[in-house]
Every structure is written in structure tokens, then in C-alpha cells.
Amino acid sequence: MTGWDELASTALVGTDRRPYGGDLLEAAAVEVARRRAGGRVNEPGGVEPAPGEEREAVGRRAAERLGRLLGGEHERLIPEWLAAAAATGRRVPAYVLPELLERGRRDRSIRVHLGVLAGQRGRWLAGQNPAWAYLLEEPTGETWELGGAADRRAHLSALRAADPGQARRLLESTWERETPDDRAGFVEVLADGLSMADEPFLEQALDDRRREVRQAAANLLTRLPGSRLSQRMAGRVRARVTISGDTITVEAPEACDRDMERDGVRPKPPRGIGERAWWLQQIVSRAPLSFWGSPNVLLGMKIPDWDAEVKAAWVRAAVLQRDPEWARAMFGWDPIADLLECLPPEEQQELAARFVRGHDLDSQLIMVLGGVSSHWREGLATAVLSKIVKVNTTQPWNLGELVKLAGEHIDPALFELAEDYSPAEPVQKVAALLRFRADMYKELSR
């Protein structure tokens, strides 16, 4: 630990038992001030003490387990611990804060719950140490009028879940005053409860100066088959696609005009993709999938030119439009995790279990499993455990990531199933990690 970490940790150890931080906590603030000022120190009396806490901290055993995670034991479980702790409405003990905030500085994926879990003292520390200032941008529960960007997005999300129309009207009332970054984030919130009532607002957002705002609006309009954008894209595809018998004839666009750009088509392709192929993929992916008919029929047809591009666009369209029928069909052509996200959790697991049973252990299998929602139920759990037992007899050195995924994503309540499934060492490692997680949830429930 650095001198700052030691000082802050020491200063915070006793703060859960008193309303204010005391002299040591003030000393920690002065140390931070000294560093920020390049070694010049203000008078200690000028540093405000840390505030008291309004919410109870998690129990001692739960906090000790978090310490073990932060110390490197099963550290990939840190996001799960934080999410479970946040769901209890409690906070982390103050003495854990320096190490947790430092971890959040390095790992953005754990920040989502830190604004609440860190409590008042966590935000106080973030105000003293520039390296932890990211915490001040995380949601704290403040309102639309008073909160920062993250609080306002959280407020809009909650309102959108309760009353989609009211949330959109609230956003419309302040739209012109919002920053470009905030506008892009707020548009994405409208994905929840999206309907044609949102279409006029989103159509106007296509004229925003910021590309990220236009792209976010186009993505949502693509999910509305009746939107003006979807109909324009359908017209573009109709002009370039002919279906005759068992053949689909395709002519890719020769140019990307301003109207296409306004509708979300990006003119410059990624490296390795030609311009016409890139434009074709984008207009096909944004045209309503109802334009095409049955995906199972289409996948059996011939596409003499642009075959790979059209099918890649169908995959993208299934993801953008959240279409379960197309996601199922295209998963058979290109099994990627993004397609599974279009399906309910139970169906995700059924499809993934079939894939595991019929596919060798490779990077694609790992990627597919990584996209399946936790917690895996018995069907997928037994398919994965069976795969582990099978591979253990031929390639035990190749099991590391699969064992970790199984231990991290199988429902922890199934630890006894894993313990009894096989005495093979990799399976027992899975069982041990499941029991670790089961204990973790039990501690957080107390």
C-alpha cells in the first residue's frame, strides 16, 4: 500500500462508530491536499471532516469476504459481490474504501454500484483524491433537478420503467439544455419501453450535431418497423434486392449519400471491409426483418453475390431489432453471444446447452457461454460439467477458462450437484467456487 492508502485506511477504521472522521481522517485529507498542491500544505483546520453515514454497512463476514476478493482470491467475483451488496440497500464499511476505490480506478466494470455502496465517506474521499474522482460521476439517488449526469440518467431510467411517456416528455423539456454526452446517454435510456410514441422525438434526434446521438437514435428507430427510418431503409433494400425462386440477387450501393448518413449509415468502413460491402450491410441491418419473410427459408436460398455480407447484416439486424425468431435462426449460422441476448434467459440456456453438447471446447464455445445470463440452471450446468469431465480425459490443460466460467455462472445453489457429479479435480474446483458464492450470498442476506 502507498502512504496515502495506509493513512486513509487507518483514518477510516473507526469511522463507522462515530459521526465524524476525527483528526486522522483530517490528516488524510491534508496529505491529499499536499500532493495536489505539489507539496504545499494548508492548515489542518481548513479541511472539512468526513460526514456520517445514513445507511447501515454490510455485516462483518460479508466485508471480510470482500477483502478476500480485493486481495486476489476469486477476484473475478468482485462485480457479483458488489451487485448483490447493492441490492441489499447497504454500504461497504469505511475501512474497505481506499482499496475498493483504487480498484475502481483501474477497473471501470465495477463502478456501476460504487456510487451507492461507497456511502458518504466514499464520496468524501473521492473529493480529496483526484484519482478517485470518477466516483462523483456515479449514481447516488439524487433527483433529475439536483443530480449529476449519472443520477439524472438513473432517475430517467426509473421513470421510464414506471411511465415511458412521462420519461420522454421530461427529456424533451430539457433536451436543448443537455450536453452532447448527456443527450447520447439519455437517448439510450429510451430503449426500455420503446414504442411508436417515441418515434417523432427520435426522428428529430437524427439531426443532432453529435454523431453518437444520431447513432443512438437510429439504433432505436431500427427497432420500430413502422418508423420513418425503417421504411426508408426498406425502400433502399427493395431497390437493390430481387428474390426469384430460390435465388436472392443483390446489388450493393455505389455511394453513401447524406440521407443515408442521417439514417445512421456510417460512410467510412472498418479496415478490411470495402465501402460497398459496408454500406450494404448497414442498410440491410436497419431494414425491418419483416421485409424478408421467414429466416429459415431465406437461409436455404442462394445469394450469388454478397452472400456473406447479407448474412452478416441479418445477424446485425436480429441484434439491433431484438428479434427472437431471427436470433434463433442466425445463431445456427453464426453462433455469437450477441444473438443469445435477444432471447429470454431460459431459452438462452437451452440453446447454449445444445451448443455445448455438440461443439468442441474452443474459444467460440467460451464466448457463447460468456454471453449467457447468470445463474445457469441445471440443464446448462450439467451440459458444462459433462463437457469438463470429457475434456479432462484428453486435454485437462485446456480447461482453465471453462472451469472458471462454470464456477462463476452456474447457480450457486447447485454446489451439491457439482460436488456429486464427478470426483474429477476440475469439477470439484467448480463445486468449491459455487460453495464460495453460496456462502457469499448467505453472508449478504444477514
Q: What DSSP string runs through 169-224?
A: HHHHHHGGGS-HHHHHHHHHHTTTT--GGGHHHHHHHTT-SSHHHHHHHHHHHHT-
Distance from C-alpha of 398 to C-alpha of 361, rounded to nearest angstrom: 8
Contact between residue 115 and residue 150 where contact means Cβ atoms under 8 Å apart: yes
| Residue range 156-199, pLDDT digits in tens | 998 999 999 999 999 999 999 898 889 999 999 999 999 999 99
Among 344, 408, 341, which residue's Cα sits nearest to residue 376?
A: 408
| Residue range 341-397, pLDDT digits in tens | 999 999 999 999 999 999 999 999 999 999 998 899 999 999 999 999 999 999 999
Distance from C-alpha of 229 to C-alpha of 115, rounded to nearest angstrom: 38
The one-letter code for the residue type at 269 is P
Q: What contacts 353, CB < 8 A, 6 or more positions away?
A: 379, 380, 383
pLDDT given for residue 47 in this prediction: 57
Q: Where are the domains of the chain?
A: 4-33, 60-137, 149-224, 246-334, 344-445
Question: How confident is the model over 270-281, as a mean pLDDT?
Answer: 95
pLDDT given for residue 313 in this prediction: 97
Q: Which of 74-83, 124-133, 323-332, 357-366 has the lowest mean pLDDT?
A: 124-133
